[in-house]
């Protein structure tokens, strides 16, 4: 209730700071009987982990996951499923300079206002590193959803202003920016490296689609499916906007253009709405797009103040992502899987259906 949990029936509670002892997650409500190996969780974590490529931070973390509870002889037991990821490569000293400053674009000032002080080691709890725990949890949700042939996939559709069409989903893991188009991917990679050379960083857009979702998911009126997805995605610190289906373009359409009509047999005339009408899935593919801001930690000198209010020139050292978009792709998928798993359980609980 104080922010470290998400979901109603398929519910995760995460913990851990960027440079603390460990990250982890407790999943409550995982149905009993799902076959679950550590390997399928590790696979997702490997996609998110740092140190993968030239466009990501050089921090080295194996992000090895250990299942602590909730699995017996390879199957989920229905009880609390906990997973642990130890932090290894912490370099706490790298951050000693900035303990007394408010880094631009970061939550430092807000956390200090909120708690009276803050853990300055790599951003503490506000670091994007906490998303590793989400990815571990999302892997369990993904495994569960496989039984229903439901799957979320995301990719980079714009980085540093360079657009990438969704040409081929199979290409996403073949390039280090996670675009679904090889040529665009190459340009994106070059753009990021050029920006990194200038000690700067860039943002981009992530597209996600969820296939196989049956009609009827989402709960009126406050837990509409799009509301839950928006909550999930905006809970990622780097995400600044979300749009479903035609998104902001819908604001310029007339109903005669925008309305999706049901054709029977699970078919729709169009999908301007992104698969969600009135907050309830309609059986169409669910689609949304996210705006990802540029990573705030850059090594060029920035103006800010210290905790006493004195103006200073800040130079952030350490190892940072020049563009977080490629690494946020598996996190977006994880959150999508978690939301859908929760909504599916909510829907399945009706004993008359």
Is 193 one of the binding residues for its own copies (CB under 8 A)? no
Write down the least CB distance from residue 162 to its own copies, Å.
10
CA triplet 76, 227, 138: central angle to 5 degrees? 25
Among 109, 146, 187, 285, binds its own copies (CB under 8 A): 109
Asked whether the beta carbons of 193 and 205 are under 8 A apart, the reply is no
Rg over CA atoms, the chain: 21
Indicate the DSSP class of residue 214: P
Q: CB of 159: closest distance to its own copies in angstroms?
A: 9
Position 197 contacts its own copies (CB under 8 A): no
Please count the CA atoms within 13 angstroms of the CA of 113 that sit on its side-chain side: 5
Query: Under a CB-based contact definition with an 8 Å cutoff, are residues 233 and 242 in contact?
Result: yes
Q: What is the largest CA-CA distance in the chain?
A: 66
Residue from 122, 245, 326, 330 touching its own copies (CB under 8 A): that is 245
With contact defined as beta carbons under 8 Å apart, do 290 and 208 qualify?
Answer: yes
Are the C-beta atoms of residues 27 and 36 closer than 8 Å to each other? no
Q: Does 291 bind its own copies (CB under 8 A)?
A: yes
Q: How many of the chain's residues bind its own copies (CB under 8 A)?
A: 158
> 212: left (phi > 0), else alpha (psi -120 to 50), else beta?
left
**86 versus 153: smaller Cβ distance to its own copies:** 86
- Is residue 293 within 8 Å of residue 238, measured between CB atoms? yes
Binding range to its own copies, per CB under 8 A, among 39-47, 88-96, 168-176, 341-349? 341-349
Binding residue (CB under 8 A) for its own copies from 51, 78, 212, 318: 78
Q: Half-sphere exposure of 15 toward its Cβ, with a 13 Å CA cutoff?
A: 11
Q: Per rule CB under 8 A, is residue 35 in the interface with its own copies? A: no
Q: How far is the CB of 46 from its own copies (least distance, A)?
A: 22
Nearer to its own copies, 170 or 352 (CB): 352
DSSP 35: B
Residues 133-192 that bind its own copies (CB under 8 A): 147-148, 158, 160-161
Tell me how far apart the alpha carbons of residues 79 and 263 are, in angstroms, rounded to a whole number.
42
* One of 82, 135, 139, 208 touching its own copies (CB under 8 A): 82
Given 39, 170, 197, 351, the residue binding its own copies (CB under 8 A): 351
Nearer to its own copies, 170 or 252 (CB): 252
Window of 47-55, 125-133, 181-189, 326-334 that interacts with its own copies by CB under 8 A: 125-133
Strand blocks (E) in 20-64: 22-28
**Segment interacting with its own copies, rule: CB under 8 A, options 39-47, 168-176, 178-186, 200-208:** 200-208
Quick one: which segment of 50-58, 168-176, 178-186, 298-306 binds its own copies (CB under 8 A)? 298-306
């Amino acid at each position: 209730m104080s922010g470290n949990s998400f979901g109603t029936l398929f519910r995760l509670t995460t913990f851990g700071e960027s440079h603390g002892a460990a990250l982890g997650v407790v999943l409550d409500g995982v149905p009993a009987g799902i076959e679950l190996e550590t390997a399928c969780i590790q696979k997702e974590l490997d996609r998110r982990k740092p140190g993968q490529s030239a466009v990501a931070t050089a921090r080295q973390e194996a992000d090895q996951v250990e299942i602590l509870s909730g699995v017996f002889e390879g199957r989920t037991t229905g009880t609390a499923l906990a997973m642990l990821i130890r932090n290894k490569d912490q370099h706490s000293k790298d951050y000693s300079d900035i303990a007394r400053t408010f880094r631009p674009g970061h939550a430092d000032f807000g956390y200090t206002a909120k708690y009276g002080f803050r853990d300055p080691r790599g951003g503490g709890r506000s670091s994007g590193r906490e998303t590793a725990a989400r990815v571990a949890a999302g892997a369990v949700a993904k495994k569960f959803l496989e039984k229903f042939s439901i799957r979320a996939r995301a990719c980079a559709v714009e980085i540093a202003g360079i657009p990438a069409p969704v040409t081929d989903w199979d290409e996403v893991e073949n390039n280090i920016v996670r675009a679904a188009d090889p040529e665009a991917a190459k340009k994106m990679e070059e753009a990021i490296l050029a920006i990194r050379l200038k000690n700067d960083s860039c943002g981009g857009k992530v597209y996600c689609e969820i296939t196989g979702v049956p009609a009827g998911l989402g709960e009126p009126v406050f837990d509409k499916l799009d509301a839950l997805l928006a909550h999930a995605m905006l809970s990622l610190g780097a995400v600044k906007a979300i749009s479903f289906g035609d998104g902001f373009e819908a604001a310029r359409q007339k109903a005669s253009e925008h309305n999706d009509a049901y054709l029977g047999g699970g078919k729709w005339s169009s999908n301007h709405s992104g698969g969600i009408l009135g907050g309830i899935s309609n059986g169409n593919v669910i689609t949304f797009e996210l705006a990802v801001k540029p990573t705030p930690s850059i090594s060029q000198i920035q103006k800010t103040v210290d905790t006493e209010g004195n103006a200073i020139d800040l130079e952030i050292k350490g190892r940072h992502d020049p563009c977080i978009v490629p690494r946020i792709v598996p996190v977006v998928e994880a959150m999508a899987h978690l939301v859908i798993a929760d909504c599916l359980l909510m829907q399945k609980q009706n004993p008359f259906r």
